[in-house]
Amino acid sequence: MGNSSSSGRSKLGQGQGSKVAPSCSAEQSQQTTFKWSIDGFYSLLDKGEGWTYSRVFEIMGHNWYLKLNPRDKKSGDDEEYISLQLELASSSVKHNTVVDASFKLLIYDQSHGNHSKHLVSHNFQTASKSSGVSCMTSLRKLKKQSSGFLVNNNCVFGVEFIKVTTSKSNTTSETLFVQKTSIFNEAKTYTWDIEDFFALKNPDYSPEFEVGGYKWYISMYPSREGNHLSLYLNLKKTNDLPNDTANLVELTLSIKNKEADNHRKGTGRCQFSRKARSYGWSKFISLEDFKDSSNGYLVKTKCCVEAEVAIVGSSRMESG
């Protein structure tokens, strides 16, 4: 997962089946739906602009996730928008393959059934795992009491896949519980001091550290994506985390400037589970910038990487 341009989508559906004309033979269409219910939506708004990721879910033989920016902006517009986007998980991207998908992104109207919908057709490829289509709903409109989108601090988003098939529609749903910031989920900081950057393996790993009762470690690829350094936070493999649960983690990875406060940082909110135990950036910084002594990231052979980690929520997955 990485940085994304402002884009959004929102829709959920258990609605009536749409028909897609097959190219060869007429088959009955099928819809398969993923619902993402966010309980404590105002707590998420308090965290400001930025993408929050659903956990990875499997539909129609591929792994997907939704990403939500609750305070997105349009160029030249001061109003805030809700942006929802579908992405194909890296684990589902095969070399020289294209995943052709038609789907609806939704925000559910929980009071009147007047859901906000946006129909998308997109070819997901290795170089473009995101649907890349903007569908933004005004935050002001979503918060209006009469809209039915936000009820009892709960908001429901989703994606409804459309496919030519005769099989029965299946639904996988997730509920994300966002916690208020408190002393119980304050971020903890771990510092990885590297004495000799040039002696690192590709990849190399920090010692383990504990946050929220789980073991974590940082992985660094000194040279992975061309002339870039890659950096990731990883959850140590654990069998005590049930398959149907995940933890929402707020994290910041930094390469410290040893001579000033101008550190190189990447931040995100994503879910860690038994099937998704890594989050970071394949192009965290160019090697040219990293090795430039005037930037203060690499001093002779030494550098310092910092991880700030907090578990700020949890989720539960249900099928049926």
- Report d(CA 35, CA 171) in Å as an integer: 8
Q: Domain spanning 188-319 has what CATH number? A: 2.60.210.10
More confident residue, 163 or 48: 48
Place of tokens 């539909």: 59
- pTM of the prediction? 0.55
**How deeply is 122 buried, as exposed, middle or buried, from its count of CB atoms within 10 A (0-12, 13-18, 19+)?**
middle
Position 129 scores a pLDDT of 60
Rank 123-127, 173-177, 183-187, 311-315 by mean pLDDT and report only the highest. Answer: 311-315
Q: Give CA separation, 264 vs 83, 186, 221, 267, in Å.
A: 26, 22, 16, 10
Say if residue 11's pLDDT is above 50. no
pLDDT digits (tens, 9 = 90+) for 203-236: 999 999 999 889 999 999 988 767 899 999 999 9
Say if residue 29's pLDDT is above 60. no
Number of H helices, E strands in the chain: 3, 20
Say if residue 135's pLDDT is above 70. no
Position 179 scores a pLDDT of 86
User: What mean pLDDT do residues 183-211 have?
Assistant: 92
Q: Which residues pair with 37 in a beta bridge?
A: 156, 175
User: What mean pLDDT do residues 50-76 have?
Assistant: 88
Identity (one letter) of the amino acid at 256?
A: K
Same fold: 29-178 with 188-319: yes
What ranges do the domains of the chain cover? 29-178, 188-319
The answer to whether 103 and 160 have CB atoms below 8 angstroms apart is: yes
- Report d(CA 93, CA 157) in Å as an integer: 24
DSSP code, position 55: P
pLDDT digits (tens, 9 = 90+) for 66-123: 999 999 888 778 889 999 999 888 776 666 677 788 899 999 999 988 888 888 887 7
**Average pLDDT over the chain, rounded to an integer:** 81
Q: Which residues pair with 306 in a beta bridge?
A: 191, 254
**How deeply is 131 buried, as exposed, middle or buried, from its count of CB atoms within 10 A (0-12, 13-18, 19+)?**
buried
Q: Domain spanning 29-178 has what CATH number? A: 2.60.210.10
Say if residue 47's pLDDT is above 70. yes
Residue 32 tokens read as: 């398969």
Say if residue 198's pLDDT is above 80. yes
pLDDT digits (tens, 9 = 90+) for 258-285: 777 789 999 999 999 988 999 999 999 9
